[in-house]
Chains A and B, each alone.
Chain A
């Protein structure tokens, strides 16, 4: 069955601190060589979804640069492939407040499409989801909407953006937005299936009435009113939610776990990313590297432990990096030490500088800064 994909690139920008000052949350670097959007875009490409709209709001320069012509995903740019959908600004709603409102900009693409279904997805969850299975599950359920959700994450305290409750047969019995869901609830992964025609009519029926929040103003409201049947697709693989700077940091560190890596990067469904033609990483004679993810193009001569090292990072002899996320192009000079820190792209840590965050509150150094 033909399916169209719609990816929201900006929705969680406000939660990501300095990391989204200069980019969309979709283009936040993650895991050494990836950007957040690589996961959802690769999932779609691997699930034979070729026609994808990427809804953007602002700061999407880096995103466009990253995706280029989309050849790395074996997708193509253009009306039959991947299209960028900047805000629909001829009317009064130039800047949107939520996903429902944002979808207005996708209306022409949705109307011109001939697909049966649409997968709507955020770009901040790292997972390997086979949407063909999700679509089958959706079709078999006969429901109006399917929500991909993950069990086992709720504890009654942690506030989740969207959580759902199912009964023993898997039937959805309740849901809530922004609440501390009790144990047993499933957490929505920001991935939804709906028929294309239904989505078009939903946008027309809700947005003119000031509704903008997809989960709250449409799914939950209409479900509670008995007007919408909601199916839950229980996803049982690895899913890492980057909802804050703290969770982003924790999730990068989680990639040091072999089982988590296996769950995200199993061979037959690769995660694609922009090719940068870097040289393999060169380890110097004095390098001491342990428990790290290391991308290509680095030159490592110092001590590097429990860290995620992106492309073209230089750690000089006598420098120390521990428990940190070091993005592309950073240099850590001799005698500098970095711990529990996120270094954004192209940061230079000068000799003698000591940066120390904490596991719960990592320090973030902005792109291009010399410290």
Chain B
């Protein structure tokens, strides 16, 4: 088989268990968690690749891969069904002697060196499958080339007082990284790593192979590979990204990122600026039906919904039914949920295929900062019985 040389191959780490998302990732890999009415988290990095003209993407799966495999399919929704490249799902595979799970992020890429090697790229873009953002990787790649960097790390400014929660890049004026500190007590900079890296392929390969030989290594990019490159005196640069970016690793951050889509001037506007769209696998559903007597304000409602009740400041995903007199406030309703007549859902995330029976109450109206909010969560496919009460912050 002939493999065309690629300038850049993207490797998307999608194997994370996402245990902080609790029931939402019990049966679903984190990148496959629904977001924003019709998307899944992985649609964002995949669409960013396509919008950045990167046509070869390896998706590294491990935990609960079935749904993710099905979702990605042949990559057609993202225009990644090309016969020269496209999207390839890369699970850990059994070898003749041993079968290895991915030990860490670096090991996951290490195990797929043969996949990258057949395209013999100049550069490799490493992405994470659990961030919500829209980014032009082509700009970052251009920066990487201009600096002739061995590794470019995307960073974003965070408030200085929060910087000790992140991996911080300390840089010189031209963006060259002289130090990397993981969760520093006394941060010297507010440039937080976004977990997005562009490596020169030959350098990445060398360091992955050396890292694999080191029995003490945790095989992690942040903990091992980046410090090793720095110590070896390689050229590392920080590329500053200014747009919206959110790690949706926790219940509250996932909820908040959904709420960020709302409002007349939303925090995160995904209405395709300059023709850049976020692509998703679409299911053939008719347009939404908004009944007489319903009230919808400050909300997202996707196609395939039937809305009879009240929806305020919420995201209602494709294929949901919100019954008469039902009230949804400040909530994320994932695809194909039925909320029956008179049920109330407030400050909650309801996962796919749930049924909230008539008169049931999930969560309560709340005020306060994001950290204080007690978001109730109903796991995939669950039924909340008639009249049942799910308290704020409860997880079912």
Q: Please report which residues of chain A, range 291-330, place their CB below 8 angstroms from some CB of chain B when the two chains form the complex.
A: 291-296, 299, 301, 308-309
Q: Say yes or no: B303 contacts A279, CB within 8 Å.
A: no
Residues of B close to A285: CB separation below 8 A: 264, 297-298
Q: Say yes or no: A287 contacts B297, CB within 8 Å.
A: yes
Interface SS of B by simple majority: loop
Q: Say yes or no: A33 contacts B287, CB within 8 Å.
A: yes
Q: Say yes or no: A277 contacts B278, CB within 8 Å.
A: yes
Q: Say yes or no: A277 contacts B286, CB within 8 Å.
A: no
Provided the pairs A31-B286, A289-B290, A290-B293 are in contact, do residues A275 and B298 lie with their beta carbons within 8 angstroms? Answer: no
Q: Is A100 an interface residue (CB 8 A)?
A: no
Query: A282: nearest residue on chain B (CB-CB)?
Result: B300
Q: Please report which residues of chain B, range 261-287, place their CB below 8 angstroms from some CB of chain A when the two chains form the complex.
A: 261-262, 264, 270-272, 277-280, 282-287
Q: Say yes or no: B289 contacts A261, CB within 8 Å.
A: yes
Residues of A close to B282: CB separation below 8 A: 72, 275, 277
Q: Say yes or no: B38 contacts A291, CB within 8 Å.
A: no
Provided the pairs A277-B280, A280-B36 are in contact, do residues A271 and B291 lie with their beta carbons within 8 angstroms? Answer: no
Closest chain-B Cβ to A331's Cβ sits at a distance in Å of 14
Residues of A close to B306: CB separation below 8 A: 258
Partner of B284, one of A258, A271, A287, A290: A271
Q: Say yes or no: A280 contacts B302, CB within 8 Å.
A: yes
Q: How far is the CA of A144 from the CA of B278 in the complex (A)?
A: 51
Q: Is A88 an interface residue (CB 8 A)?
A: no
Q: Is B75 an interface residue (CB 8 A)?
A: no
Q: How far is the CA of A218 from the CA of B101 in the complex (A)?
A: 69
Query: A281: nearest residue on chain B (CB-CB)?
Result: B301
- Total A residues in contact with B, Cβ cutoff 8 Å: 38
Q: Is B288 an interface residue (CB 8 A)?
A: yes
Q: Is A286 an interface residue (CB 8 A)?
A: yes
Residues of B close to A53: CB separation below 8 A: none
Query: B284: nearest residue on chain A (CB-CB)?
Result: A270
Q: Is A283 an interface residue (CB 8 A)?
A: yes
Q: Is A284 an interface residue (CB 8 A)?
A: yes
Q: Say yes or no: A294 contacts B284, CB within 8 Å.
A: no
Q: Say yes or no: B262 contacts A282, CB within 8 Å.
A: yes
Partner of A284, one of B264, B272, B286: B264
Provided the pairs A31-B287, A272-B284 are in contact, do residues A294 and B301 lie with their beta carbons within 8 angstroms? Answer: yes
Provided the pairs A31-B286, A31-B287, A273-B284 are in contact, do residues A289 and B303 lie with their beta carbons within 8 angstroms? Answer: no
Residues of B close to A309: CB separation below 8 A: 287
Q: Is A84 an interface residue (CB 8 A)?
A: no
Q: Is B120 an interface residue (CB 8 A)?
A: no
Binary per-residue interface labels of chain B (75-96) against chain A in the complex, 1 for a CB within 8 Å, 0 otherwise: 0110000000000000000000
Query: B314: nearest residue on chain A (CB-CB)?
Result: A283
Interface residues on B, range: 35 or more
Q: Say yes or no: B38 contacts A296, CB within 8 Å.
A: yes
Q: Is A32 an interface residue (CB 8 A)?
A: yes
Partner of A294, one of B37, B288, B315, B318: B288
Q: Say yes or no: A294 contacts B297, CB within 8 Å.
A: no
Q: How far is the CA of A279 from the CA of B43 in the complex (A)?
A: 13
Residues of A close to B302: CB separation below 8 A: 280-281, 296
Closest chain-A Cβ to B170's Cβ sits at a distance in Å of 38
Closest chain-A Cβ to B257's Cβ sits at a distance in Å of 15
Provided the pairs A280-B36, A291-B292 are in contact, do residues A32 and B286 lie with their beta carbons within 8 angstroms? Answer: yes
Q: Is A265 an interface residue (CB 8 A)?
A: yes
Q: Say yes or no: A279 contacts B296, CB within 8 Å.
A: no
Q: Is A158 an interface residue (CB 8 A)?
A: no
Q: Say yes or no: A295 contacts B294, CB within 8 Å.
A: no
Q: Is A71 an interface residue (CB 8 A)?
A: yes
Binary per-residue interface labels of chain A (237-265) against chain B in the complex, 1 for a CB within 8 Å, 0 otherwise: 00000000000000000001010010011
Q: Say yes or no: B290 contacts A294, CB within 8 Å.
A: yes
Q: Say yes or no: B300 contacts A281, CB within 8 Å.
A: yes
Residues of B close to A31: CB separation below 8 A: 286-287
Binary per-residue interface labels of chain A (110-128) against chain B in the complex, 1 for a CB within 8 Å, 0 otherwise: 0000000000000000000
Q: Is B17 an interface residue (CB 8 A)?
A: no
Query: A292: nearest residue on chain B (CB-CB)?
Result: B290
Binary per-residue interface labels of chain A (28-39) against chain B in the complex, 1 for a CB within 8 Å, 0 otherwise: 000111000000
Partner of A286, one of B77, B278, B297, B303: B297
Q: Is B171 an interface residue (CB 8 A)?
A: no
Closest chain-B Cβ to A94's Cβ sits at a distance in Å of 37
Closest chain-A Cβ to B41's Cβ sits at a distance in Å of 16
Closest chain-B Cβ to A292's Cβ sits at a distance in Å of 5
Q: Is B299 an interface residue (CB 8 A)?
A: yes
Q: Say yes or no: A277 contacts B297, CB within 8 Å.
A: no
Partner of B277, one of A277, A292, A294: A277
Partner of A291, one of B283, B285, B286, B290: B290
Q: How far is the CA of A72 from the CA of B300 in the complex (A)?
A: 25
Closest chain-B Cβ to A286's Cβ sits at a distance in Å of 7
Q: Say yes or no: A287 contacts B291, CB within 8 Å.
A: no
Residues of A close to B316: CB separation below 8 A: 280
Q: Say yes or no: A33 contacts B303, CB within 8 Å.
A: yes
Residues of B close to A290: CB separation below 8 A: 290-294
Residue of A265, A280, A296 contacting most chain B CB atoms (<10 Å): A280
Closest chain-A Cβ to B246's Cβ sits at a distance in Å of 17
Residues of A close to B36: CB separation below 8 A: 279-280
Residues of B close to A283: CB separation below 8 A: 296-301, 311
Interface residues, chain B, with chain A CB atoms under 8 Å away? 36-38, 76-77, 261-262, 264, 270-272, 277-280, 282-294, 296-303, 306, 311, 315-318
The 3 lowest CB-CB distance pairs between A and B, nearest first, are A32-B287, A280-B37, A270-B284
Q: Could you give 9 example pairs across A and B, Cβ below 8 Å?
A: A270-B284, A277-B277, A279-B300, A280-B303, A280-B316, A281-B300, A287-B296, A292-B290, A295-B303
